[in-house]
Structure 1
Amino acid sequence: MRAFRPILAVLFLALFIRPGAAQEPIRMARTPDVSPDGKLIAFSYLGDIWVVEAIGGTARAVTSHPAHDTAPVFSPDGRWIAFSSNRHGSYNVFVVSARGGRPRRLTFDSDNDLVNGWSPDGKHILFASTRSIAFPASFELYTVPVEGGMVHRLNVDEGKEGVYSPDGTHIAYVRGPGAWYRKGYRGSANDDVWVCDADGSHNRQLTNFAGQDGSPMWSADGKTIYYVSEFHGTPANIVRVPVSTDPSLALRANNALPPQQITFHKDDAVRRARISANGAWIVYECGADLWMVATKEGAVPRKLAIEVDADDKVNPERPETFTSHATEFAVAPDEKHAVFAVHGKLFLTPISGTPKSVQLTEGQWMDHGAAWAPDGNRLLFVSDRGGHEDIYALEPDDAEHPKLVEAHKFKVIRLTDTPEAEFGVGYAPDGKSVSFLRGGKLWTMNPDGSDAKAIVDQPQVFDYDWSPDSKWIVYARRDGSSASELYIVPAGGPTPLNPARDVTRYATFNGDVSWSLDGKKIAFLGDRRGKSNLLVLNLQKPLAAGVTPPATPMIPTVDIDWDDIHLRANTVTTLPIDEAAISPDGSKVAFRGNGDLWVAATNGGQMTRLTTGAQNPRMIQWSHRKSPFGGFADVVYFLDGQGTLRAVKSTPQTVTDAKTTAESAPALLSFKVKLTVRADEEFTEMFDQTWRYLAENFYDPKFHGHDWDAVRAKYRPLVKHVAMKEDLYALLYLMMGELNASHLGVSGYGMIPEEQTADLGLVWDEAYSGKGLKVQDVLKRGPADKRGLNLKAGEYVLAIDGVEVTEATDLSKLLNGKVGETVELQVAADANAESKSRRRLMIQAASRNSHRQDGAVVEGVRDLMYDRWVENNAKKVTELSKGKLGYIHIPSMDEAGLERFLRSLYSDNFDKEAIVLDVRYNGGGTTHDQVLNYLTGHGHTLFRERDGREGPVVEAQDRKWNKPLVLLINNRSYSDAEVFPSAFHTLGLGKLVGQPTGGYVIGTGEVQLIDGSRLRIPRIGVYTPAGVDMDKEGVRPDVLVEPHPDQLAKGEDAQLAKAVEVLQADVAEWKKKNPPAVVLQPNMLKPFPSAPAAPAGPASAPPLFMPMAK
């Protein structure tokens, strides 16, 4: 049944601006800064930059643009403000007069650049950016001249929130993957404050508190650093410590005592603190307001009362027209109309003729899950209009037009009213009963909402479908071990004579069920031996040869042969599949595989691809319309990745886009939906959805000790104070941060860069400061690694597309919009080479990130940088161990990561004495047990052939590793990459080396908000055998090695070197306990009589075992 499958579609909506109430102090002003003399405050509000006197009052706008301007920073003389804005898609650095005017753009990259500060001489702006192609990826610190030109990276492997010391010789910055919004986190995935020289060298750690430290600020004399910390408890407050900038001293030496607390907020955390250049004042965010505090002893913070006079830049109510971005559809029984869900509203559209649509539901709520009554005169749907997701019916309320598809007025009737969410609503084929899911159970009720009863009273039911005669329901139910089976139960509920029967009896995953209209077959998806299979269950035994099957009546009576029914589930295809639907006559199954629509015969015969180009079909449905030639119309409906309804015959043909398909297929539906989007209602609904989804699904019913109702009461009134989607997201993050949990987030909205910055596949020498760019490395398999180019490390790129590369050149600007295009490089071995002596090389520029092209995944340059990192690590292990040890990095705990692991294990490392395993920078997944399976080998049998070849297994893929291991972990090992080392240690497979893992261990799901944003929900807790919640509890290494930025900047990996050292010692101990076994040579075996010579044939050896003849 597909009506309730989660759908993800992103709607890119126009921004709007709403003024604050007249003379009422504003709230949700963000990212403040204070002028050098402490007299003015700059901040971001309504997506613009504003300035107000430090005592508060009426603010004046510095910028006015529909985009989001943020993070203002005053210049040292107070005359200019640098800020970040996404007015060209990604966030770039801009500078504007503090009095206002036209901003000047300084950076042009398609990755985000976030302003941090100014150099004390006012000539450069310091910013943090994700533009680097390096692996591992992180924010790094860069500078750009105020007049524009070449961007330079500081020699620090990662950094953000950087600020120069007053004399310009040092930079204090933040290092770590911490989440700014999360309250109370304690673990290795936190942020700490560091100090380095102005060029990024001589890094020293200022804080080593296990919680969050951020927003470093220098005192005017450079002898004190203020910062925001939870050192004294949650929430975060401002603290200060004395510092020494002498590179020979560890900064902690002057930090023997706890940091001195400056502010003492009890309810809300301090965020984004900035100090005046004279060192007298600090401005900061706290809760939904801006505050100031003097740095003198005993000063009391004060909340700023700020007013603004702002006009709307975009109308709060805006008309929107949609011809795509539908999240759901439901075709009427006569297939002449369809209902679409667009932006949380239901619309009725004729399938043929004009695409004009009639709006069926209104309001700020999320209406979805539409299901037609069999007579076509009533709709059921699910809505949160009553505060939680309930079932409603929509009927015509028009005496002159009593048919639903002709009516001009409609009425909505509430059928359920429970605190638990209902979904998956549908009619029985005979229309006499309504089915739905509630609380993980399968329910039915009368069409008027009466007599609701749970016919499957055991959770967790997550999918179901009716038999065509309305007498049976097949459903998928998940047990406590995450396995799911299919069951068939009488529609009225189980009885002693007719209980619910397990019809798959294969406890892995079984789901996505659909029952054929002839009642004879059920199609479903199932995991078999670790692979996703499309299967068809035959409900009756096959007919004997020569027996003619009886004709199928108009409404077939379903006859089920229960005897060994589970053995009649036959695999149709093993192609990776996400969704499937069986045809009415049971002869075919349409399914999504590899991003496109396919159809296969249910007997496992012919398989045909119906679409190309990654159409990403979903909500796949067969037409039930009768064909004039007999049988059913051979048409499949689906929504494509753009939310457009398409139809295609199940024989190969081109998918059309608004007209009719071939022969008798129905018109392909083009729809045109017009509605008014009211921004305040949309934002309120998004907030309510976020809160409710977490209320209903968060894995800890005690919400980590928080009163979730009180959290709602605290944050919901703030929705009316935000007018930009970016600021709404920030508000949602603040609410979610109260939970102190991982795997939370909202995403989906974002400005698309006007131009993507291309990459040449070259690594530049950052230390070089002469003419052009000096090549440090040419990436293997990259754009510059082609025959005939002969570009080498040490050479210089002096011009790009005819533009000389100088300090006035912005490289990103030169490469914008050139992904896939040919770029001319002028290259020479001498940086001073004249134009005539340079080589002209033509290189096809590439994308930084992997992407899909013609349905296939194309590697990006960042993928090549990852491969380079792995290769360098493997070379280092080989060098340190003299070739005796192997190295395997597992990038992710998914099928792709497992494939990389197995290839490296068998092809590169199986003959090694031991292996260094590495799950640093691994974001997680679900394959920890599969990886462990290959690392826990114990010999039990020896298989030997007559020529002396022998081994412990028959099949190569059954080989297991049984020699020493060491496992590298760090604070970017997350989720399943934490479950894996925990199990690795518990099973005694080897030592753990590195840093504690992040403590980000939760099973998560994803839902869609009304605007198309995606919300992550932590739904499944993960616990150790002792009952310890692994979220917030990282796995600790046996050997702790903290990486140092100076080492990493030089390409040194202290964790890797220590892992080799530890493993070498373990190998020596292992050899003492496991002396080499005596290898039996062929001449030591008892000879067998010689056999006649075999005729010449294939060089490959026959299988070790052959099946016995019957």
Structure 2
Amino acid sequence: MKIGFVVRLLLAITICGAFTVARAADRPLWLREPAISPDGTRIAFRFQGQIWIVPAAGGDALPLTPAGSHAGTPVWSPDGATIAFASDRFGPMNIFAVPADGGDARRLTWYSLDEKPSSFTPDGKAVLFSSRRLGDAVQTFAMPFRSEQGSQLYQVPVAGGRDTLVLPNAALDARFDPQGRRLLYTSASIEQPFRKGQTSSAARQVFLYDAASGRHERLTDDIHESRDAVWSPEGDVYYLGEASGSLNIWRLSLADRKPVQVTFLSGDPVRSLSISRSGDLAFSFGGELYLLRRGAKAPERVNVNIIRVAFPGSRASQAASFNDLVLSPTGKEMALVTRGDIFVASMNGKYVKRITQGPGEARDPSFSPDGRKLAYAAERDGHWSLYETSILDVDEKTFSESTRIEEKLLKTGEDDAMSPEYAPDGKHVAYVANRESVRVLDVAGKADIEVLPKGLNYSYVDWSWWLSWSPDSKWIALPVQPSQSVVNVAVAPADGHAQAARVSPAGEYQVNAQWSQDGGFLIFATNPDGLKWMSGTVWSADIEAVFASRKARDEFETKLRIPVIGDSPPPQNEPTSVGSASEEKDAPAGGSAPTRPAKAAAIFPFEPEGVEDRTIKLSQQPATLVYYGFLSDGVSVLSVERGPNPQGDGMTLTGTVRDLRQERRKILFSGLAYNPNSPVRMSKDQKKLYFLQREGITEVETAKGTTRLIKVSADTTRDEAQARRAAFGQFWTLTKKKFYDPKLNGVDWEAARSKYERFLPAIVDMRDLAELLSEMSGELDASHTGGRVRISAPLAERTASLGLIYDERYRGPGMRVAETLTGGPLDANASELKPGDIIREIDGEAVPDEGGVRRLMRGKARQLLAITAEHPDGRRFTERHVAVTLEKEQELAAERWAKRKRDYVVAKSCGHLGYVYVANMDATSYRSTFSEIFGRFQRADGLVVDIRYNGGGNLHNQLLTLLSGKAYMNYAPLRGGPSQDEPRDRWTKPSAVIMNAASYSDASVFPQAYRDLKLGPLVGDPVAGTGTFVWWAESNIIPGLTYGLPELPIRKINGSLIENSDIAPDIAVASDPTAWEKGLDPQLDAAMQALLPGGAGGCGR
């Protein structure tokens, strides 16, 4: 966008008067990422998602990039003529270049993961940038795509051309010296970049790379954050360092390596250091721009005038995708939730009524039995309360077609009130109070009774509670926690006359209990293997139920026997089946039977006595369940499980009906698209099932499995600035109420809110809001904090993969293949493609210099492609293969990473040692680890357990149990044959654990406990103590925004917290990029040496 166009636009706006053009009366704030021009006369910076330029002496700033997309990280060419930057104009943050005086921007990269520029090459011909790709087949060390640590340094010509590899491992903020011989860069970290005050091995450090020798040297200390290094005119180094307690500017002479503090600012960190040729330093501080001129003793603030066009007020928008669905008992409409507001739509989607209108979040809608009232929870002014909206006109039967509705507050006291559920009698509402107890409110306002006191549950996430009323409105099923690792279903009397009692006490997770319509069953899910997330989400579950009474059990058993032994049907006026209504008919002799109206099913009263002896298992094997329930015949169970979509992104659902009487299973439907983490709902008449998908609501007929798509469009017009303020306030409040330390690590949280809330008027998009939240939560000096953004690239921009590792330094036409990934599209017996071949064309289109193969692979996932390649002898050939997603490429590359380590250990130890890589602390990793240990390495003498780049989860206990076995017997045939040690399911021999600074969360808990249990040596880098379980809270107000809430701390056996306490290795071997680039892994060698001392690697034994 040319500067001249900006001036003409402002003139036109002033004349027509259609908009407001404002010169900010107050100083503009949230000026980020300043970059001073090489001649020191101008500063480029980011404000409101645009790149602006202001004179270094201060004055009017003009936008270089247009509004409407987010642009950031400007860097200047050495001659000051060009600025490179990143922008999400096409979805991901790609690299662009634009003339510094304005003009057309040129796209330089085409890749669907975010990229970030750091500087120009000294000759000004190329831009250095970081990107998470596969890197070099030999020299790249880190696990692919794992946060910024899985990135590499590339360069791309400014005039357009092939991007090529500069460094095969992460090198952030990279800047060459003027001669291009040495490179300063910041090491990567798994920790969020705006954390403050961290002193640990995970802190970023400044490194110096020498191109001639290939040597990487760390310049700064190893526990304080150091970053953003720049070259002084004399060849010294300026950088931002936190050794004094807050990020300030430091100077380091490469002659004596002694750092000297230059600035002494406090209260805020110094951010985004840049330097001119003459040595003037520009940076941001407190949301404004500062300049430290060469030779000056103190920095000066740069006065910035922002001339901008303001569009205040609401912005029209429509939503067709939702995150919650609740059916009305009338069967005529449904409540839907999106963007923090509640709507009611007719079942055909034609009519839609907006029930709430922000700016705070509303959720958890619950219809009254007659469908004329809707209760819900809403957060207003930082407090969650219950509200009820009613249809006013008696002749209007539905919300979706009503003209007048009225909202009222349901009085529930001063505590937060959430998760309302109407009782079947319509007179009471059960709800969760203050995230810790359950109460029953008389909607007429006569009583508010506690039925479950605090102390029996821990609310890990706000949506973890479930409440289910018995059909007679006398009992409530709810969760209780005997311990943090156990959740059981309990039943409490709704009048509070007795304590809640567990229906099936067990050391497992039981979740989402629901009563059958006649009250005969209480059905729930239970995980059989104990593998789960701390949030309570189980990886797989069985279906179980308890009978409400002995009579309900007897009726059910009778129903099962009828077709088998010909029992007479039960007497009339008795329930004919659990979960169904009976229909009476009189049949006089010689005539047809006159039909009477259907008689309502009798309700089975709940009998607490002996309930735990009335348990029945209803599933045959565990599954990832999203719905389960009896069908109307009372003997068929419908279960719906989710799984990955084999044909595309997201998840799909499969519905199975199991006939318990005839022991037959039938697939009702399969492969139906589904929005993850959204509910599946059954209609009251049990004839239809509903669930959410990306394009609307899917309706399934339970009798036939046929489906139809219901499309709903909701008017979500709102003031976006108010919505951002509400999301900010929500996360601030959640932190105050749920942060693991009630004293918030000594931070004045009220002051923190005031400090960062003042920047909200300058925030106009989700990326800036996430960064603001990261800065605020960074004050807490804790792991698992910060705002994150999840913005999916458009389908047309999503990079597909051929499952190849390329020679990223090859500069000729096409792209040269370095390796084919095992299991990838071209890993086929019939494929001619070999390392050294060059990909020339995709579907007949020549591979361009600009963007290479990746540019042609946009939007090609799961498509059959014609791939033309060329052998080194010049012979061309064409093959057809189906491309895979980038996520599949990551999976294949991770498997390659682990297999190469495993094969190296086996070969070097001559089979004496085994190797397992634990990629995540989850069920998949546990199962693969177990399989490898007892399948491949059962006879090995020792085991290397690698947890480097493990991002966490919840597996430490299972993994420690697996590795802490003590042999107690052996058995084998006396005449010869395989033997077996006991315990057969636990490793009883020596082991060693390899770890690094990217072993995070539960992967820091595990090595601490491994040491405390004296199971073996820890090898590698120190690991930062990040042992706090987190809730990554997804915003319903701003979809795509996520915020980290570390809330449940883990203590060592001595009582101290793992959080913020490093775990030092027994055998210290630092991560070494110099060794990595030689294809070496010194940490792995040291672990092997610890298990097989002697230097021969075990081969001579």
- With normalisation by structure 2, the TM-score equals 0.86
Alignment of 1:285-684 (within 5 A): 285-296=284-295, 299-312=297-310, 317-322=314-319, 324-352=320-348, 355-397=350-392, 407-416=402-411, 418=413, 420-439=415-434, 440-461=436-457, 462-495=465-498, 499-530=499-530, 532-541=541-550, 542-543=553-554, 546=567, 548=570, 551-552=574-575, 554=601, 556-560=603-607, 562-563=609-610, 565-583=612-630, 585=632, 586-595=634-643, 596-601=653-658, 603=660, 605-616=663-674, 618-624=678-684, 632-636=685-689, 638-642=690-694, 644-658=696-710, 670-684=711-725
- One-letter code aligned to 2:914: G
Greater alpha carbon shift after TM alignment, 65-74 vs 334-343? 334-343
Give the alignment partner of residue 722 of structure 1, picking from 740, 763, 774.
763
> Cα RMSD over matched residues?
2.9
Deviation at 1:912, TM superposition (A): 1.1
Q: Is 1:203 aligned with 2:216?
A: yes
Residue 870 of structure 2: aligned partner: 827
- Per the alignment, in what secondary structure is the counterpart of residue 693 of structure 1? helix
Distance 2:77 2:176 in 1: 12
Distance 1:201 1:1036, change over 3 A: same
Greater alpha carbon shift after TM alignment, 408-417 vs 466-475? 408-417
Distance 2:672 2:1092 in 1: 49
Distance 2:219 2:20 in 1: 42
Distance 2:807 2:917 in 1: 26
Distance 1:614 1:220 in 2: 63
Distance 1:691 1:877, change over 3 A: same
Give the alignment partner of residue 78 of structure 1, picking from 68, 77, 80.
80
Distance 1:560 1:20, change over 3 A: farther
- One-letter code aligned to 1:592: V
Deviation at 1:329, TM superposition (A): 2.7
Distance 1:85 1:487, change over 3 A: same
**Contact kept in structure 1, 2:121 and 2:127, CA below 8 Å:** yes
Distance 1:110 1:785 in 2: 24
**Contact kept in structure 2, 1:516 and 1:584, CA below 8 Å:** no
**Contact kept in structure 2, 1:154 and 1:200, CA below 8 Å:** no
- Per the alignment, in what secondary structure is the counterpart of residue 777 of structure 2? helix
- One-letter code aligned to 2:865: T
Alignment of 1:831-980 (within 5 A): 833=874, 838-844=875-881, 846-847=883-884, 849-850=886-887, 860-945=888-973, 947-949=975-977, 951-952=979-980, 958-980=984-1006
- One-letter code aligned to 1:284: F
Distance 1:276 1:699 in 2: 44
Distance 1:824 1:81, change over 3 A: same
Distance 1:93 1:1064, change over 3 A: same
Q: Is 1:1048 aligned with 2:1076?
A: yes
Distance 1:706 1:603, change over 3 A: farther
Distance 1:476 1:39, change over 3 A: same
For residues 795-838 of structure 1, the C-alpha deviation after alignment (integer angstroms, 9 at most, x for no partner) is: 445666666668677343243333334242332224xx3xxxx1
Alignment of 1:1020-1031 (within 5 A): 1020-1031=1048-1059
Distance 1:228 1:578, change over 3 A: farther
- One-letter code aligned to 2:202: A
Distance 2:276 2:118 in 1: 14
Distance 1:402 1:741, change over 3 A: same
Distance 1:949 1:787, change over 3 A: closer
Residue 989 of structure 1: aligned partner: 1015
Residue 187 of structure 1: aligned partner: 200
Deviation at 1:680, TM superposition (A): 0.9
Deviation at 1:771, TM superposition (A): 6.2
- One-letter code aligned to 2:475: W
Q: Is 1:215 aligned with 2:228?
A: yes
Residue 238 of structure 1: aligned partner: 249
- One-letter code aligned to 1:825: T
Distance 1:419 1:738, change over 3 A: farther
Distance 1:587 1:702 in 2: 54
**Contact kept in structure 2, 1:494 and 1:500, CA below 8 Å:** no
Distance 1:571 1:992 in 2: 45
- One-letter code aligned to 1:372: F
Deviation at 1:32, TM superposition (A): 0.9
For residues 560-579 of structure 1, the C-alpha deviation after alignment (integer angstroms, 9 at most, x for no partner) is: 26226345232424332343
Greater alpha carbon shift after TM alignment, 140-149 vs 868-877? 868-877
**Contact kept in structure 2, 1:166 and 1:221, CA below 8 Å:** no
Distance 2:158 2:1050 in 1: 50
Distance 1:555 1:438, change over 3 A: farther
Deviation at 1:397, TM superposition (A): 4.6
Distance 2:616 2:851 in 1: 65
Distance 1:483 1:438, change over 3 A: same
Distance 1:639 1:717, change over 3 A: farther
Deviation at 1:742, TM superposition (A): 1.6
Greater alpha carbon shift after TM alignment, 480-489 vs 887-896? 480-489
**Contact kept in structure 2, 1:847 and 1:861, CA below 8 Å:** yes
- One-letter code aligned to 1:1008: E
Distance 2:883 2:1070 in 1: 35
Residue 762 of structure 1: aligned partner: 804
- Per the alignment, in what secondary structure is the counterpart of residue 451 of structure 2? strand
Residue 143 of structure 2: aligned partner: 136
- Per the alignment, in what secondary structure is the counterpart of residue 380 of structure 2? coil
Greater alpha carbon shift after TM alignment, 76-85 vs 358-367? 358-367
Residue 701 of structure 1: aligned partner: 742
Residue 1100 of structure 1: aligned partner: none
- Per the alignment, in what secondary structure is the counterpart of residue 84 of structure 2? strand
Distance 1:826 1:697, change over 3 A: same
- One-letter code aligned to 2:817: V
Distance 1:635 1:998 in 2: 51
**Contact kept in structure 2, 1:474 and 1:513, CA below 8 Å:** yes
Which ranges in structure 1 are unaligned for 5 or more consecutive residues?
Answer: 1-16, 245-253, 625-631, 659-669, 851-859, 1077-1110
Residue 267 of structure 1: aligned partner: 267
Distance 1:808 1:894 in 2: 40
**Contact kept in structure 2, 1:581 and 1:621, CA below 8 Å:** no
- Per the alignment, in what secondary structure is the counterpart of residue 49 of structure 1? strand
Distance 1:219 1:935, change over 3 A: same
- With normalisation by structure 1, the TM-score equals 0.85
Residue 1094 of structure 1: aligned partner: none
Deviation at 1:945, TM superposition (A): 4.4
Greater alpha carbon shift after TM alignment, 510-519 vs 99-108? 99-108
For residues 896-933 of structure 1, the C-alpha deviation after alignment (integer angstroms, 9 at most, x for no partner) is: 10121012112221111111111111111212222222
Distance 1:578 1:699, change over 3 A: farther
Deviation at 1:864, TM superposition (A): 2.1
Distance 2:515 2:883 in 1: 47
Distance 1:428 1:43, change over 3 A: same
Residue 1057 of structure 1: aligned partner: 1085
Deviation at 1:683, TM superposition (A): 0.8
Residue 536 of structure 2: aligned partner: none
- Per the alignment, in what secondary structure is the counterpart of residue 613 of structure 1? strand
- One-letter code aligned to 1:1050: K
Distance 1:713 1:519, change over 3 A: same
**Contact kept in structure 2, 1:47 and 1:67, CA below 8 Å:** yes
Q: Is 1:1011 aligned with 2:1038?
A: yes
Deviation at 1:1048, TM superposition (A): 0.6
**Contact kept in structure 2, 1:43 and 1:49, CA below 8 Å:** yes
